[in-house]
Every structure is written in C-alpha cells, then in structure tokens.
Structure 1
Amino acid sequence: MLLDKVIGGYLDHLFEGWEPWMISLASSCATVILIISYNFLFQDESLFLRAKKFVLRNARRIPAVRNKISQEFDVSKKRMENELMAPTRNLGSIRALPQSRSAEEVLALAKKYKETESADWSKLSGAIYSGSDEITKLSTSIYPMFAWSNPLHPDVFPSVRHMESEVVRMCCTMFNGDEKTCGSMTSGGTESIFMACKAYRDYALARGIKKPVMVVPVTAHAAFEKSADYLCMGVRKIPMDSTTCQVNLRAMKKAIDGRTCMLVGSAPHFPHGIIDQIGEISALGLKYKIPVHVDSCLGGFLIPFMEKAGYPLELFDFRLEGVTSISADTHKYGYAPKGSSVILYRNHTYLHHQYSVTPDWPGGIYASPTMSGSRVGASIASAWSVMLYMGEDGYVKATKETIETTRKIKEALKKMKNIYILGDPLVSVIAVGSKDFNVYLLSDAMSARGWHLNALQFPSSIHVCITKRHTKPGVAEKFLQELQECITNIMENPPKEDTGMAAIYGLAQSIPDRTIISEMAWAYLDSCVALPGSGS
C-alpha cells in the first residue's frame, strides 16, 4: 500500500502540467519503442551473432578484402571443376538433342560412361549399402514390370498402391506400432523429414501457433534446416554434449516455448553415429504436449533388429508414448535401390496434416500424400520386393554382421595412438578426431588409397559408415592396416602445408563469415551440372 502511494506520488510529480493527450501519446510511443527493442534484442539468432555477421558482411565491401576473397574463390572453384570433370573429360559433351540413335548405340555409350566409375565399393563410407548381385538381379527384374506405374492413380495401378501399404505396415510393425500407426513412402530421407516438418507445422498452425519453431540437436540431419527454409519455420539448434556427442537435454528443455511445434532426436545421427536420448526427449514431448520425431533414416533398418542380433538398445520407437513419428530409409540398410524411404506416424491425426489437398481446382479435387504428385511406382515395387526377399531373418543376419564388423573396427581404433573416437557409437558409424595432427590429412591419405571417408566439422573429424560391403572377409582388416599406416606416415612425415581436403575444411572452419562457405557450396553445385569448356 505504501509502495503504491510512493509510485503514484512520483508519477504525479513526473507528469505535472502534462495534458492527458500528451501522457497518452508518450505512453504509446514508449510502448512501441519497448516492443521494437525487445524484438531486436530477443530473436532466435543472438545479438552477438547478428552483430558479427553485420561486421563481416560490411568488411567484404572493402576493395582489398573483396578482391582477395574473389581471387581465392576463383582458384577454389576452378580446382573443384577440374576434380569433378576429370573422369569424364574425354567423353565429349552432348549440348543439344542429336539425331535419333538406336537402342544398341545408346547402350554402348552408357557403358562407356559407366567405365569412368573406378571406385571400389568396399572402400566407400556408406553411399552403397549392399548392391549385391542377388538384390540387383531381383530389383532389375521387378523394375520393368512397374516402370510406367504411378501411385497418383491408384485406380489404374492398384498393385503399387497395395505394395506401398504393405511396406508401410511392415515398417510400422518393425518399429512396434499398433493398428493406428500409419504413414507413407517417400523418395528418400530428406523428403521423409520434410513431410514430418510439414505435418507438425500445419498441426501447430491449426492450434493457433503463428510461427512454429522446431527444436533440433545441432547434429540432426541438415534436411531439418532445409525443410525449415522451404516451410518458413523457425529452427532452434541445441548443442551436443562434448563428451557423449548426444544432445544437451537441459538446453533442449530450456529452448521449449509456446512456439515449439516439434522436438527431434536421432537414432543414430549422421556425423558421429550417436543415438540421442530418445526416452528423455519423448518424456519432454509428453510433458509439454509437443510432437517428437525420431530421425532413423540412417539406421532405421539396423536398430529394430539389433536386439535379436545380440546388441540390445534403449527404447527408441513407438513403445515410447511421446514418440509421434519416425523416418527410416529403405534404400540404406533396407538394401533397396535408391529412391525410397518411409515416414511413419503414431496415428492419422498427424498424417492428415502431411497431406496436400486442393479442393477447388478446376482440374478436379487434387490430393497427394507427399511432396511429389506423380511418383515412381517402380521404386515402391523394388523396395517391397527387397524387403520380402530379405525378410526379418535376413535383416537380423545382416545387422549382426554389420554391427560385429563395426565393433571390431571400433575396438581397434581405440587402441591406435594419435586419434580418438567421438562419443560411444553403438550402430554403424564411427567418427574419429585427432589432437596431434590435422585429421583431414588422414582423410586425404586414405583417399589416395581408394578409401572414401566423410569429412565432418565442429569439431574437426572424419567418419566411416560401415555397410554390408565391409563385412566381407579381409575388408575391415585392410581398412585398419592402411589407416594405421597413414597415421604413422603423417606423424613421421608431417606435410609442410595442407592440401586437398585438409586445406579446404581447415580453411572453411576458420572463416567466421559462413556466407562465403555457402557461396563455395553454390560453386560446387554449379560444377556438378557443368560440362567442360562452357561452365554450364
């Protein structure tokens, strides 16, 4: 009461002699200034980061800085183009439609193009997960039967409609769903993730959330950020624990607010092969009534079989009440040809928000379940056929072989000096770093021997993704032997300057203005579709 009197007296004194309209105008102006200040200071991107970007962006306007960046950019772009085009430079370039050729001529040219591929598949990290002769023969036999089928017309192609339903139902059962669990097939993991984000964005909008925000671990697949770009969603990236490489749960909980539309956990995530604490994320989702998506695109056809293979894991699927969706790629450890994945939901409430429906189109009522309209029915048929061919027993056997090989490599890497393993990977990906040398030198050295490893950043590291190809006799032993030889050589004969991946990634991580890195990535993508001589 006394405080009220003191404040009231102060305000009376402060505004003594003011007209009522003046007080009203001042109050309105102060309110507007406070709102503008709040919105400026408190954004998803911190004030410090925005200030740093502003400084760096304007620094590029200085002629000397701009010219130096341009020179380095041109050199890097030319190097990328040369490396990408080198294998096909002698093929010539078809720049306009030629006169028609016979099927035999086209096949002969295709074989000539194919000869430019020299990679030993057993030395790849991920990329080709099986490619066995038996599965290749099965898939290429199935494909022409359904080459012209299109699930957009289920009345015309009931076969692929039924096949898709069976693939989805088999996957729902695989992840311990019930009869209410549902979903659809997509063209790959990125589309599966995109559809989950779209579903939860629309679900949030229907509940009155104006600008939905996803809360994702910094290690979650880049497809989440890509989806947010397309869908005009906000993204809050949660840091990982530096020791376990799992998401920081305390930071995730702190990031949740009234705009949060989905929480994400990976099982496992791509960079380091670590499974996030799905049980705890599920509990957060239940507590705050927020959908939880489990991204299992990479390991989705390993982790459901690990317990039967003798490698039990903590719960990660629909047995956790808070888990509302799961993505898994049939074209990775499902061993189907590229172009298929599944997105699964706990029930139709979420799935219906994934759908796109245009009820008033003059062309009719248009409805599609995923981003695509017409879809490749043959991809669905191929995935269906491989799943039946493999069967549960086949997947359990393949999982056992893959995890056994991964654990064997993991134990051997632990014993090697000058490198360390990031976190405790339990599935098929192992990431290593080094405190003694630039770890990208190791990637370059292994590349020179034909091994294709994946470069990671923040922290600097590389990883190997173990596939069925690595389980063949002698492959793991050869990998470990050559890795050790490369480490020894780097330590005994350190290079005077970094080149190759060591130079590119070493430089990339030291550049604070990430827009420069984005521009380099644009140049790389330009080079991927360019022909020699024209830059187009």
Structure 2
Amino acid sequence: MDIIRHPVSSLKFVINDSFNGKEPWQIVTITTTTIFLGVWFYDFLFQDESIIDRGKKTVFRLAKLIPSIKKRIDDELSSISKNFKDEVEERTKHTTYITELPHAKLSKKDIIEALNTNLGLGDYDWKNGLVSGAVYYYSPDLIDVVSEVYSKTSYTNPLHSDLFPGLCKMEAEVVRIAADLFNGNDDTCGTMTSGGTESIIMACKAYRDYGREVKGIKKPEIIVPTTVHSAFDKAAQYLKLRVRSVRTDPNTCQVDVNGVRKAINSNTIMIVGSAPNFPYGTMDDIPALSELGVKYNIPVHVDSCLGGFLTCFMEDAGYPIPPCDFRLPGVTSISADTHKYGFTPKGSSVVLYRDVKYRHHQYTVTTDWPGGVYGSPTVSGSRAGGNIAVCWATLLNFGREGYVSATRDIVHTTKYIEKGLRRMKGIFIFGQPVTSVIALGSNDFHIYRLSTALKERGWNLNVLQFPSGIHICVTHMHTQPGVADRFLNDVRDSLFEIMKNPSLPVEGKMAIYGVAQELPDRSIVGDFTKLFLDSTYYVPKRGN
C-alpha cells in the first residue's frame, strides 16, 4: 500500500536499495546504460513507421539474404527489366537514336522531321478523346496564340526581375486571377509553380517552417486521406515530415473526419483534403475539415490540383457543389493546376495562401552567400518565363465565359457517362463523382479485364489499386460529338464478352499489376517501379 500512497518515495527507496554496496564506476555504468537503453527504446517505439510495419520490413529484408530467395527475386526482377526494355525496343524499332552531338548543325527541316517521328511513336488517339486525362484541351486556335506568346518569351526568366519585370507582372496577375476565382480577398496571395507536385511541396514546406518557427514544432506531421495525391508522400520524403494517413469511407470515398480529429496532436502542421481526389473523383468534406482547422488552430490545405479549375466555375455552369475554397474560414491554402482544366500548356500551377505569413515561409532565402543575397519563391531558381506567359495568355484567351462554357460541357459529359455506366450490370462506381473523374470496380470479375478489353478498342484508362479499379478522367476532348457514346458502347460490348466467363483470370500487363498489389513486401513493388522508370531512359544499342 505504501508504494501506491507514496510512489516517489518508494521509487527512491527501491533505487537506493538497488545501488547499495555498488562501486561508483558500477553506478555510473548502470545509470549510463539505462539511459541509453531508454532512449533507444523510446526511438524504437516512436518512429514514423509502426512496429508492425518495421517488423515486416525486417523479416522481408532478412528473407532476401537467403540465397535461394535472393536468386529467385533477382531473376524475376531481371526478367521484368528485360520486358520493359523489350517494349522500348519494339516501340522504337523503326527509328534511330541520336547518342552523340552532331558534328555539324542540323537544318530546321531535319530537326522538325526528327521531332515529328518522335511524336509519332505513341499509339493512342488522344486528340479524338480516347485517353483519360493527360491532355485536357486542344485547339489549333489556342496553339497559334500560345506559340506566338512562347516564341517571344522562351528565353525570359523571372529570377532576373530587373531584366524581365513584365514576366513578374504577368505572374502576379495569374496569382490574383486565381485568388479571385477561389474567393480570396485582398490578403490572399501565392505563387506560380511548375505543376501540382511542386505546389504541394511548397505548401508542405511553408507549413513545416511556419510550425517550426512560430509554434516550435520539431517533429512535423501532416494529416492526409489515404486517397490524397502521392505528391504529399514525395513532399514528406523531401522535407522529413511524418504522414498520418486517415482511411476513407468505402462507400463515399471521403476521408473519415473523426479519424482526422483523432490523428491531430501537438506536432500537426497541416490537415489536407482533396477537392476532388485523383483515384475516385470524390470530394472530401472540406467544410468539416475547415471546422477542425479553426478549432485546433491548424492550417487546412485543399488539394484542388486536378479539378480546381472546374470547381471554381461549376456554380456558374449550373452544377453547384459544397464550398471548398477560401469562403471557409479554416482553409488556409489551395493548390490548383492551370495546366489541367485551366487548359494552359504543361508546366504551370498555382499555390495560394490566405495570408502572406504562410507564403513567407514558402520562400527560400540565403543571406550570407558570397554571390550576394539570394531569394527564390519556389523550388527552382531560374524559371521558364515562357510557361508563365502562355499560362497568362491562355487565361485571358478563355475569360470567365469561356471557362464556364467548357466546365458546363465537361461536367455534363461526365454525368452523362456516369448515368450510362450505372445502368450496366457487372460494374459499380466508387462514391459520387463531383467533377470529372469516374472510377469503376466490379464484384463479378477482375476489373482489370475491362481495362484490357478497352485498351484493345483504343482506350487508355488509369489503373487503381487497394481496391482494384479503373477510372476515366473526362476532359474537353471527350465532349466532342460521339466520344461519350463510343465509350459507353465499348464498355457495354466489353462487359458482354467478359460476363460470358467472368471467372477468367487477368492476363498480360494487368496480371503483373494485379500480382503486385498482393505482394506483402512493398519494396519489391518499388523495385518494379524503378525498373520501369529506368526503361524510360533506356537507349537501345543499335547505332545512329
């Protein structure tokens, strides 16, 4: 009973009794060892990964040391690498590779001819709407505009603001236009970036530094839905952040708000919601996340990289959705890609902040460099002024009226396709699409068989995992006459053939992808991915 009533005194007695009769060196050794073991045990328990995940990785790593297992894995990886390279060989067999700088310059005619050959290597007819996402708009008239603008600005660089002040003015105008579209106020600010991934990395960097300098957070954590874009994981790897992933509801495909609430702690630097997410095109409950942000004084970032330049026009287009922008008091930043539904050429995005204090923490400043005081707003130092200029020109080329019209056509086409797909037996749609993405699954057959069947009919769709699915991201290309009906007819015909024998296994590439999902050792899946990336840089040795 004494130890319960007087725990501190009792503990002192136990410790003193334990050291009774010990030599000083023994006391020092035991104390030091105990401290070291305590620190090690604390670090072991409270690492970014759970004990279970680390235990699995340790088991798999040790298993790979067994010669027979290592040889089997190495042989399989070698075979996969060869398959990737063989595909490159086959795709480029009628072309030659330039592996050395030509001694003499090539003529414009020769360069354009080589360019056209390289651009002709793709198999998919993206101009006629047979591809999911990727190219969001194409018009010869727009090409004329951006080509002339880029030709005048291709060698400009906003890093040198004294040389190209007009580029800085255009970037500032793009940011202000975007801030207005997302219902910001005079204090709303931001920057342009090279794409959604950089916008996301910049937001994470801003909140990491803000959390460290203002709140004293030394072990920063971000709370994200499991469906959030993988760019947040990339940001975490670059910036040494801990990611707390919160599950999504299997029916609505929205993040579990209660799960987000439980994940909040003193190290949380930001909460993230998607509007919409990439896999399913569903939108998280941004108003509820905003409330959490206000209640706990935590920044809330809305990732609208995919559909932001649809959501900001949907109400005017006749398709209102719940607020997901700066109208919500807890939303402190938004990322949105102009090079998706803003229809600008690739290489532009915006990241917006409610207050300049956040943008200041996005900047990188070096004050003691011998080359002078150096400051840059984003990852890059030098930036392509041409990308800023063509983004600016594209926004002005469309105007609000043009974007509202395009949004109306895209959302109408998406809902038309969704309605047609929901009538078909054998498939289901994940959640409730909000903007332009429709994700399909099946309880009757492996959905990757439908992906393969549609590929044989010329379609290129995106493949999903955990659970298996495929999705189509509807773009302006799909609003062309007859494209939506062709897609529905091809899905219907493919389902008719598949349902004749729904139990057949997946074959070909999709079989490999399906097996990859089932591998418990995700590091092997990572090796697959690295080999694929290697193949994109592979140059066959067959001469010039």
Give the conservation status (yes or no) of the 8 Å contact 1:88–1:116: yes
1:315 is aligned to 323
Alpha-carbon displacement from aligned partner over 1:353-407 (angstroms, at most 9, x marks no partner): 1111111111111111111111111111111111011111111111111111101
Q: Distance in 2 between matches of 1:352 and 1:23?
A: 51
Task: Name the % identity.
Answer: 48
Deviations 1:96-115 (A, max 9, x none): 11122112221122122223
Q: Is 1:466 aligned with 2:474? A: yes
**d(CA) in 1 for partners of 2:7 and 2:154?**
83
Which residue of 2 is the match for residue 57 of structure 1?
61
Q: Distance in 2 between matches of 1:443 and 1:57?
A: 34
After superposition, the C-alpha distances for 1:109-148 in whole angstroms (9 at most, x for unaligned) are: 2122223233211100000000122211211121101111
SS in structure 1 of the partner of residue 499 of structure 2: helix
How far apart are 1:217 and its partner, in Å?
1.1
1:19 aligns with 2:20: yes
Correspondence for 1:147: 154
For residue 48 of structure 2, the aligned residue among 44, 49, 56 is 44
Kept after mapping to 2: 8 A contact 1:89/1:532: no
Structure 1 residues 308-387: aligned runs within 5 Å: 308-387=316-395
Correspondence for 1:292? 300
The one of 99, 103, 119 equivalent to 2:124 is 119
Equivalent residue, structure 1, for 2:534: 526
1:94 aligns with 2:98: yes
Letter in 2 for 1:72: E
Distance in 2, matches of 1:41 and 1:86, equals 50
SS of 1:123 mapped into structure 2: coil
SS at match of 1:357: strand
Aligned twin of 1:199: 206
The offset of 1:499, in angstroms, is: 2.1
Distance in 1 between residues matched to 2:451 and 2:339, nearest whole Å: 26
Residue 71 in 1 paired to residue 75 in 2? yes
Report Cα offsets for 1:316-368 as digits up to 9, x if no partner: 00111111110111100000000100011111100001111111111111111
Query: Is the CA contact (8 Å cut-off) linking 1:267 and 1:294 kept in structure 2?
Result: yes
Matched residue type, 1:4: R
Query: Aligned to 1:261, what secondary structure does the other structure show?
Result: strand
| 2:464 maps to 1:456 | yes
Separation in structure 2 between the aligned mates of residue 155 and residue 17 of structure 1, nearest angstrom: 73
Distance 2:292 2:542 in 1: 54
Matching residue's letter, 1:430: I
Q: Secondary structure at the match of 1:436?
A: coil
Secondary structure at 2:315's aligned position in 1?
Answer: coil
Residue 426 of structure 2: aligned partner: 418
2:138 aligned with 1:131: yes
SS, match of residue 175 in structure 2? helix
Go from structure 1 to structure 2 and tell me whether the alpha carbon gap of 1:9 and 1:77 turns closer, same or farther (over 3 Å shift). Answer: closer
Structure 2 CA distance for partners of 1:229 and 1:7, relative to 1, 3 Å: closer
Give 1:430's aligned residue.
Answer: 438
Q: Which amino acid aligns with 2:71?
A: N
Distance 1:172 1:237 in 2: 29
In 2, distance between residues paired with 1:282 and 1:235? Answer: 19
Which amino acid letter does the alignment assign opposite residue 460 of structure 1? S
Q: Distance in 2 between matches of 1:449 and 1:82?
A: 23
Give, in angstroms, the shift of residue 77 of structure 1: 1.7
Which residue is 2:231 aligned to? 223
What whole-Å deviation, never above 9, does each CA across 1:249-284 have from its counterpart, x for those lacking one?
122111111111111111001011111111111111
- Per the TM alignment, residue 421 of structure 1 is displaced from its structure 2 partner at its CA by 0.7
Which amino acid in structure 2 is aligned with residue 533 of structure 1? K
Counterpart of 1:93, as a letter, is Y
Q: Deviations over 1:436-479 (max 9, x none)?
A: 11111111111111100000101110100000011111100000
The answer to whether the 8 Å contact 1:440/1:501 transfers is no
Alignment partners' CA distance in 2, 1:14 and 1:231: 43
Q: TM-score, normalised to structure 1's length? A: 0.95
Contact residue 268 and residue 275 of structure 1 kept, 8 A: yes
Q: Structure 1 363/18 Cα, relative in aligned 2: closer, same or farther at 3 Å? A: closer
Tell me the amino acid that sits aligned with residue 57 of structure 2.
K
Q: Work out the CA distance in 1 between the residues paired with 2:305 and 2:7.
A: 63
Partner amino acid, structure 1, of 2:154 = A
- Deviation digits for residues 481-514 of structure 1, max 9, x if unmatched? 0011111211214585532232122111110111
Q: Is the 8 A contact 2:88 2:538 kept in 1?
A: no
CA RMSD of superposed structures (Å): 2.1
Deviation, structure 1 residue 26: 5.9
Unaligned runs of 5+ in 2: none
Deviation at 1:195, TM superposition (A): 0.7
Shift of the alpha carbon at 1:41?
2.4
Identify if the C-alpha distance between structure 1 residues 408 and 383 changes in structure 2 by more than 3 Å, giving closer, same or farther.
same
Distance of 1:419 and 1:110 partners within structure 2? 42
Which residue does the alignment assign to 1:108?
Answer: 113
C-alpha distance in structure 2 between counterparts of 1:109 and 1:5, whole Å: 85
Following superposition, the deviation at residue 28 of structure 1 comes to 6.5
Residue 510 of structure 2 corresponds to residue 502 of structure 1: yes
| Deviation of 1:523 (Å) | 0.5
CA distance, structure 1, for counterparts of residue 209 and residue 61 of structure 2: 35
Which of 75, 84, 87 in structure 2 is aligned with 1:83? 87
**Which of 176, 179, 182 is equivalent to 1:175?**
182
2:66 partner letter: I
Q: 1:260-271 to 2 correspondence within 5 Å? A: 260-271=268-279
Deviates more, 1:300-309 or 1:79-88: 79-88
- Note closer, same or farther for the CA distance 1:86–1:36 as it changes in structure 2 (3 Å cut): same
Q: CA 1:409–1:35 in structure 2 vs 1: closer, same or farther (change >3 Å)?
A: same
